[in-house]
Amino acid sequence: MGAESMQVKVDEFLPLRDVVFNTLRKAILTGELKPGERLMELHLANRLGVSRTPIREAIRKLELEGLVTMLPRRGAEVAQITEKSLKDVLEVRRALDALCAELACGRITEAEEAKLAAACEKFAQATKTKDATVIAMADVALHDIIVAATGNQRLVQLVNNLAEQMYRYRFEYIKDESQHERLIEEHRMIYESIVKKDRAAAAEAARIHIDNQEKSIMRQIQLDNRQDSIKR
Amino acid sequence: MGAESMQVKVDEFLPLRDVVFNTLRKAILTGELKPGERLMELHLANRLGVSRTPIREAIRKLELEGLVTMLPRRGAEVAQITEKSLKDVLEVRRALDALCAELACGRITEAEEAKLAAACEKFAQATKTKDATVIAMADVALHDIIVAATGNQRLVQLVNNLAEQMYRYRFEYIKDESQHERLIEEHRMIYESIVKKDRAAAAEAARIHIDNQEKSIMRQIQLDNRQDSIKR
DNA sequence: AAAAAAATTCATGTATACAAAATGCAGGCG
DNA sequence: CGCCTGCATTTTGTATACATGAATTTTTTT
């Protein structure tokens, strides 16, 4: 597990359980805590400088979120991420992102449309920096505007959760510069469909966007697997 | 809160936290614990005959599921269910049920098709009993077959969760005998579309099914609201 | 009598203590 | 040599204790 990077910040007025939850969640999603790794309460408690209680409560939430699996009387371990489980997530996300685009057509405000246009432009600019972090943030910002425009809280929560499941791979494919032009074009397609209030086109554009993301991620996983076999 | 109905059964080998979680969850979904009601740890602990620890862990899961809301330093209370939040849930469910129907077209096995046909028939039989519990169970069984046929674990989990959010209202509209014929017909439409592998038709049939469910539930809520104003 | 201040009560947040189950290792036995 | 048994250790599951913040009630003062 990554060294001191995992530290609780007491800065916040959040209960410790929430701090721990966020810390562990991020560690899992970024791959700092690897699938199959055991989460031992006392160990984590010492590491984060808190007692077992907030650790346990954080694990309960991670459990419900599916990021850890509980083994009876053995505690928690980081959930395995298989190709199948990623495909499952993407399949659901495709449907929900399409729904977001459709709903946005009917509900987006003019102010939000302007923000969306700006976000598209900002994303295009970001690709020029070649900085994966900057690009990823611009991408998230853009999608957040569309999702928020649906005005559906539950949908916002679900889409964000599903999107986060792929943070680990997302980075890899955003670094691939050959994809940047395509991404810009796909964003433009979604934006224009929404402005035109063309629900079918918006939904289809969103689906294509996810399709391509899926292809990138699956390519990435194939590479990872090959790496693994070499190591063994 | 409903009297002794809420009792932990130690029969199981589940950790107490899971027993408590299931107990509270059911109590909330059936309306035994009403929106806005406070969940006080010591109180629940005494009531269920356990210590605060498993209660707290159960509440953490309910929190993530959105069934309770946390107030800082005041603890948990049962989440309010507004007309808006129900509409949000139904909007997502419509998309996911449609996705289930589509996916089922391509993935359902012959054995599952047979089970689905039987479930349709069983539902029609169940309506004749006029027993809401029997009908509800037959309905759940039928939908479970379709959802399971997608082979997508994540989708199964999400759809079940969304469906459960409406347990409270579901019962009311299943009791309405005038709707039974329509429900049987809608189930038949979905079944036949799946057998014919007509993805578009299956998706549309699933959407219509939810649309009608939404209408029933919204009617129910209007009635509830009117009841409330009379009471006041 | 009303308002402000102080004290008390109560519930949560966190830590620790205790019990029971599972794991791992050592030593004995077939 | 391998396997089984039993003890020690580790780790989870549960309970309880302590501390802090919030709310309420009581008291005091105007």
What is the per-residue pLDDT for B225? 79
More confident residue, A9 or A40: A40
Which residue ranges make up each domain of chain A? 16-78, 83-231
More confident residue, B5 or A145: A145
What is the per-residue pLDDT for B10? 41
pLDDT band at B187 (very low <50, low <70, confident <90, very high): very high
What is the per-residue pLDDT for B21? 97
Structure tokens at A202: 């918006």
Say how far apart CA B34 and CA B68 lie, in whole Å: 11
Say how far apart CA B26 and CA B46 lie, in whole Å: 19
> Tell me: the pLDDT tens digits for B76-85?
999 998 999 9
Instruction: Check pLDDT > 80 for residue B1.
Output: no
Class for the domain spanning A16-78: mainly alpha
Q: Which nucleotide is nearest to A52 (CA to C1')?
A: C15
Q: How distant is C1' of C17 from CA of B62, in Å?
A: 28
Instruction: Check pLDDT > 80 for residue B67.
Output: yes
Interface test with A, best of B56, B62, B64, B93 (most A CBs within 10 A): B64
Helices (H), A8-152: 16-29, 41-48, 52-65, 83-107, 110-129, 132-149
pLDDT band at A11 (very low <50, low <70, confident <90, very high): very low
Structure tokens at A36: 């199959």
Contact B83, B218 (CB under 8 A): yes
Instruction: Check pLDDT > 80 for residue A9.
Output: no
What is the per-residue pLDDT for A167? 84
Instruction: Check pLDDT > 90 for residue A226.
Output: no
Find, in chain B, the residue whose alpha carbon is nearest to that of A14.
B72
Say how far apart CA A61 and CA A49 lie, in whole Å: 20
In 3D, which of B66, B71, B60 has the Cα closest to residue B20? B60
Instruction: Check pLDDT > 90 for residue A180.
Output: yes
Task: Report the CATH fold assignment for A83-231.
Answer: Four Helix Bundle (Hemerythrin (Met), subunit A) (1.20.120)
Establish how many alpha carbons lie within 13 A of residue A165's alpha carbon, considering only the half-sphere containing its beta carbon: 26
User: How many Å lie between the alpha carbon of B232 and the closest alpha carbon of chain A?
Assistant: 30
Say how far apart CA A109 and CA A83 lie, in whole Å: 38
Q: Is the CB of A53 under 7 A from strand C?
A: yes
> Tell me: the pLDDT tens digits for B119-138?
999 999 999 999 999 999 99
Q: In the predicted model, what is the mean pLDDT of chain B?
A: 91
What is the per-residue pLDDT for A16? 94
Which residues lie across from B70 on neighbouring strands?
B76
Mean pLDDT value across residues B135-164: 96
Q: Is the CB of B231 under 7 A from strand D?
A: no
pLDDT band at A228 (very low <50, low <70, confident <90, very high): low
Q: Looking at residue A178, what DSSP letter applies? A: G
Instruction: Check pLDDT > 60 for residue A70.
Output: yes
The mean-pLDDT minimum among A11-20, A58-67, A156-165, B143-152 falls in: A11-20
pLDDT band at A224 (very low <50, low <70, confident <90, very high): confident
DSSP string, chain B: --STT----TTS-S-HHHHHHHHHHHHHHTTSSPTT-EE-HHHHHHHHTS-HHHHHHHHHHHHHHTSEEEETTTEEEEPP--HHHHHHHHHHHHHHHHHHHHHHHHH--HHHHHHHHHHHHHHHHHHHHT-HHHHHHHHHHHHHHHHHHT--HHHHHHHHHHHHTTHHHHHHHHS-GGGHHHHHHHHHHHHHHHHTT-HHHHHHHHHHHHHHHHHHHHHHHHHHHHHHHHH-
Query: Which residues of B fall within a CB distance of 8 Å from A56?
Result: 57
Which residues lie across from B39 on neighbouring strands?
B76
The mean-pLDDT minimum among A114-123, B61-70, B87-96, B218-227 falls in: B218-227
What is the per-residue pLDDT for A172? 78
List Cβ<8 Å contacts ≥24 apart for B181-184.
Answer: B182/B212, B183/B123, B183/B127, B183/B139, B184/B120, B184/B123, B184/B124, B184/B127
What is the per-residue pLDDT for A5? 47
Q: Residue A77 is inside which H or E element, if any?
A: strand A75-78
Instruction: Check pLDDT > 80 for residue B116.
Output: yes
CB contact under 8 A, A85 and B153: yes
Mean pLDDT value across residues A143-167: 95
Mean pLDDT value across residues B25-38: 94
Instruction: Check pLDDT > 70 for residue A182.
Output: yes
CATH topology match: A16-78 vs A83-231? no
Q: Describe the crossing of helices A199-231 and A167-174 by its angle, rounded to 10 degrees.
A: 90
Interface A-B, measured as beta-carbon pairs within 8 A, has a size of: 74
Find, in chain B, the residue whose alpha carbon is nearest to that of A99.
B95
> Tell me: the pLDDT tens digits for A185-204?
999 999 999 999 999 999 99
Instruction: Check pLDDT > 80 for residue A163.
Output: yes
What percentage of chain A's residues is helix, strand, coil (to nearest 5)?
75, 5, 20
pLDDT band at A230 (very low <50, low <70, confident <90, very high): low
SS3 A32: coil
Percent of chain B with pLDDT over 70: 93
What is the total residue count of chain B? Answer: 232
Q: How distant is C1' of C5 from CA of A14, in Å?
A: 30
Establish how many alpha carbons lie within 13 A of residue A70's alpha carbon, considering only the half-sphere containing its beta carbon: 16
Contact A183, A120 (CB under 8 A): no
Q: What residue type is assigned to position A17 of the chain?
A: R
What is the per-residue pLDDT for B232? 42
Mean pLDDT value across residues B148-169: 93
